[in-house]
A and B are shown apart, each in its own frame.
Chain A
Amino acid sequence: MENVRPLAHNRCMTPDHDHLLPSARPVVLIDSGGRPVESAGYALPPDDHLVKAYEALVVGRRVNDQAYALVRQGRLAVYPSSHGQEACQVAAAHVLQDGDWLFPTYRDTVAAVARGVDPVEALVLLKGDWHSGYDPHAHHVAPQATPLATQLPHAVGVAHAARLRGEPTVVMALCGDGATSEGDFHEALNFAAVFRTPVVFFVQNNEYAISVPLARQSVAPSLAHKGIGYGVPGERVDGNDVAALLAVLGGAVARARAGEGPQLVEAHTYRMHAHTNADDATRYRQDEEVQAWVGRDPLTRLDAFLGGRGLLTDQMRESCAGKAERIAAAMRAGLAKDVRPDPSELFAHVYSAPTPQLLEQAALVADELSREEGH
């Protein structure tokens, strides 16, 4: 415990708060036409990082679209797609090191996959066999959270535990624009700031919380501005520009790791599909609005940039597409399997050891099943 850094004095007490405010406009490094853009304080990530991100984007898009198709085929109960938000998903995972943690929501399957979680295991939740289908310790990916913003204080706790042990862990905590209205979002930011925990709060502002537009969540100048009230520096970034995301999130992770405390990043992006397949987005938004975002697609943008620089050949494109296809095939195969979930599991994990009452209830189910088989 000796190497625990002392809690630094509260920076809000210093007269100059400007360093807490986000840039006037979201940081962009590659515009929607694939052209490089100057952005003060941020440099283009190295070529190999961008090429790696390209592959992950192709895979992420394929995972999203395959999952969507699997809902239509009845293999998944529901899928909240991050189609259009893949740059956020990929960057959130790629800026982390092995010992770091990711706290994803229901929308962040692709981020979990980009961090190494098997898509079939990630989709167990939405297939309905169990709740969290993967081992959170295997890749340091917390169970995907559905109750909005509730995972954010957990992220602070995980980061604080690491800090107390002197470990260099950074925690990437994801949430949506709507979730920033929940009390837990604010409590998490404040706790992280007070305890100076190394958490990067990453808000994917996709403009909607189901049907409710951003204007109904907040009239703040931006969601990144919410940091200043807690003494947390905020930054905003073009959420469809993976280069800018890698630069901004990478910088935030580095500052958190260096002991500068929590960071808040807001990405401006768009939910291209309905909230889930069960939602009818035509009830609350116009198709023109959606179409306007097609031209800002994160994949075509990076493709144009890398292609223009000679960093992406057709052969590489094919190889990425091939990898994505193999993953999609594995998803189809994995989800086609109807493993009959074992009802005795219902009673197995509630406590470290089942209570006497649970044992009775498990016996009741076992008895019912044996009688059914007897018939």
Chain B
Amino acid sequence: MTRIATTPHGKLSMAQALNRALRDAMAEDESVLVFGEDVGPLGGVFRITDGLTETFGANRCFDTPLAESGIMGMAVGLAMNGMRPVVEMQFDAFAYPAFEQVVSHVAKMRNRTRGRVTLPMVIRIPYAGGIGGVEHHCDSSESYYAHTPGLHVVAPATVADAYTLLREAIASPDPVVFLEPKKLYWSKEEVEIPAGGPGIGRAVVRREGADATLIAYGPSVPVAMAAAEIAAQEGRGLQVVDVRSIVPFDDETVCRAVRSTGRAVVVAEASGFASVSSEIVARVTERCFHSLAAPIRRVAGFDIPYPPPKLEHYHLPGVDRVLDAVDDLQWEDA
């Protein structure tokens, strides 16, 4: 019995698409193992692994003792010995006990052994905010992982991408940190499975617009799309680029987009200081300086610990703040 079913209209939620991706990967390849905290009979606290133990048995999808470092370290060993572990960290901020394993081993094994030992594994992390979570449940931790050479880091923003990128991540010969925007788990789209679309390493233009480019990933893509919608009503065309793959980063697509408009705003929930958003600004500025009509602006989370539920809306990049930043792009010179 599968508890996650598609809704009558053929619409799929991101949670369902992720579940489908795990199912399809497990059905195709016996070496794919799913484990972590509460992923077995409960199906994960977000139900992403719903029914997997039932379908594939307790050797393929199982609960571990409650220890993230143990989960991650065991995944390293399993991957060294022919398995494809897909581990779940229950929440972004609960992955930190595993950080030692991720940074010292998951990220470095290939390089240390001159490519002789590889770690095809996926680290799934429900991440970022906007769900009214109490402390330690809403961290945007992508910059820690992106800063660590040896890890691929991806963040889907659409239901189709959730499926496509997770399948790619599981198939990848490299370890992938797979960041699932919690606030998008329940967002629904009409999608055919397999969902198609480009793989890891490619950004996509989600919306065309001639006046300025919004660059976003994961939970910030819908914010950028909403901002573009409002800007269009006000007569300004905003292009939206969905980064999708933070590492490897698609300089080509992002820079082509920015050159086409000459103005850009990067939108991300994570604190802006020393972050993925600052990296994007630096890369694009280095490559597109002469095409830019204004400095690239950032709308990022503040440089503060993630706020309590009643205050998070002040912290999260919202449509108004994005449009304010767009207004600041020196239009008077245009």
Residues of A participating in the B interface, judged by any CB pair closer than 8 Å: 77-78, 125-131, 146-148, 178-179, 181-184, 209-212, 216-218, 279, 283-284, 341, 343, 345-347, 350, 355, 357-358, 361, 365, 368
B41 interface contact, C-beta 8 A:
yes
Q: Are B308 and A218 in contact (CB under 8 A)?
A: no
Contact flag A341-B310 (CB < 8 Å), given A78-B134, A147-B93, A211-B63: yes
B149 in the interface (beta carbon within 8 A): no
Instruction: Give B3-43 interface residues, CB cut-off 8 Å to A.
Output: 37-38, 40-43
**In whole angstroms, what is the CA distance A125 to B137 when docked?**
12
Question: Is A346 a contact of B314 with CB atoms below 8 Å?
Answer: yes
Known: A146-B134, A210-B38. 14 other contacts (CB 8 A): A131-B135, A146-B136, A147-B94, A178-B66, A211-B40, A211-B42, A212-B37, A216-B64, A216-B65, A218-B65, A283-B43, A346-B302, A358-B304, A361-B302
Say whether, besides A182-B67, A216-B64, A365 and B134 are in contact (CB < 8 Å). no
B321 at the interface (CB under 8 A from A): yes
Minimum C-beta distance from A252 to chain B (A): 24
CA distance A346 to B42 in the complex (A): 36
Indicate if the CB atoms of B41 and A183 lie closer than 8 Å.
no
- A residues within 8 A CB of B64? 216
Q: List 5 A-B contacts (CB under 8 A).
A: A125-B134, A130-B308, A210-B45, A212-B66, A216-B65
Contact of B314 among A181, A182, A365 (CB under 8 A): A365
| Interchain CB contact under 8 A, B311 and A346 | yes
Contact: B273 with A357, CB < 8 Å? yes
Closest chain B residue, CB of each to CB of A145: B136
B97, B135, B136, B304: the one contacting A350 at CB < 8 Å is B304
- Across the interface, which residues of B come within 8 angstroms of A358, CB to CB? 302-304
Which one of A128, A183, A283 contacts B310 once the chains associate, using CB atoms below 8 Å?
A128
Residues of B within 8 A of A178 (CB): 66
Taking a contact as CB atoms closer than 8 A, the residue among A179, A343, A347, A357 that contacts B66 in the complex is A179
- What does the 1/0 interface line of B127-149 toward A look like (CB < 8 Å)? 00000111111000000000000
B41 x A211 contact (CB < 8 A): yes
B208 interfacial contact with A, CB 8 Å: no
How far is B40's CA from A131's CA once the two chains are assembled, in angstroms?
31
Distance in angstroms between the alpha carbons of A184 and B37 in the assembled complex: 17
Type the 1/0 row for B290-334, where 1 means its CB is closer than 8 Å to any CB of A. 000000000000111101111100110000110010000000000
Write the nearest CB–CB distance from A68 to chain B, whole angstroms.
16
Pick from B64, B136, B302 the residue with the most CB of A within 10 Å: B302
On whether the beta carbons of B308 and A128 are closer than 8 Å, the reply is: yes
Q: How far is the CB of B320 from chain A (nearest CB, A)?
A: 7
**Which residues in B have their C-beta under 8 angstroms from that of A212?**
37-38, 40, 63, 66
Smallest CB gap from B137: residue in A: A146
For the complex formed, measure the closest distance between the CB of A182 and the CB atoms of chain B, giving whole angstroms.
Answer: 5
Interface of chain B residues 139 through 171 with chain A (CB within 8 A): none
> Which A residues touch B94, using CB under 8 A?
147-148
